[in-house]
Amino acid sequence: MKTLKLLALTVITAFSMAAFAGAEHDHGAPTFQPPKGGILKSTHSTHFELVKGSKGVNIYAYDKDGKGIATKGLTLTAELELPRQKATAVTLTSKETHWEANVDAKGAHRYTLKVNIDDGKEKDYVKFTVENK
């Protein structure tokens, strides 16, 4: 009976650890509120805020202390993921302090924007789930 309990505990612990090690895990919550009231997601070293506008989105980058980072030196690409459809590329335009993108959600109530980040040393990504109201 003790062996069975130990085995069960080991299996539960292994599955719990695997959940945190998966590709979709969060890199940790930022220690500041979104400065522009948007959605905040993090990579290992940078935080990104998505702010939804009337025709699209703006994406801002921040350091670990919440100070804005210029777009120079960061390459961002994005994909729009709609329910039951293939992901489509979204063009992000650098505006020195942020990136802008027109997003056509094709009437969907919710969409996911996957933003791929390349800082020249490391490649990472963040996923924003955006609600259309």
Q: Is it the case that residue 125 has pLDDT exceeding 90? A: yes
Beta carbons within 10 angstroms of residue 91's beta carbon: 11
pLDDT of residue 19: 45
| Mean pLDDT value of segment 69-97 | 93
Mean pLDDT rounded to a whole number for the chain: 83
Instruction: Give the residue from 129, 112, 128, 121 showing the smallest Cα distance to 75.
Output: 121
CATH of domain 25-131: 2.60.40.3340
Question: Domain extents for the chain?
Answer: 25-131
64 φ/ψ sector (left φ>0, alpha ψ -120 to 50, else beta): alpha
pLDDT of residue 108: 87
Sign of CA dihedral 101, 114, 94, 52: positive
Q: What is the pLDDT of residues 23-68, one digit of tens each?
A: 454 556 667 889 899 999 999 889 999 999 877 899 999 998 899 9
Q: Is it the case that residue 20 has pLDDT exceeding 50? A: no
CB 93 within 8 A of CB 100: yes
Q: Is it the case that residue 2 has pLDDT exceeding 90? A: no
Residue with tokens 């094709």: 106
Residue 21's pLDDT band, with cuts at 50, 70 and 90, is very low
CB 99 within 8 A of CB 93: yes
Structure tokens of 71?
Answer: 């777009």
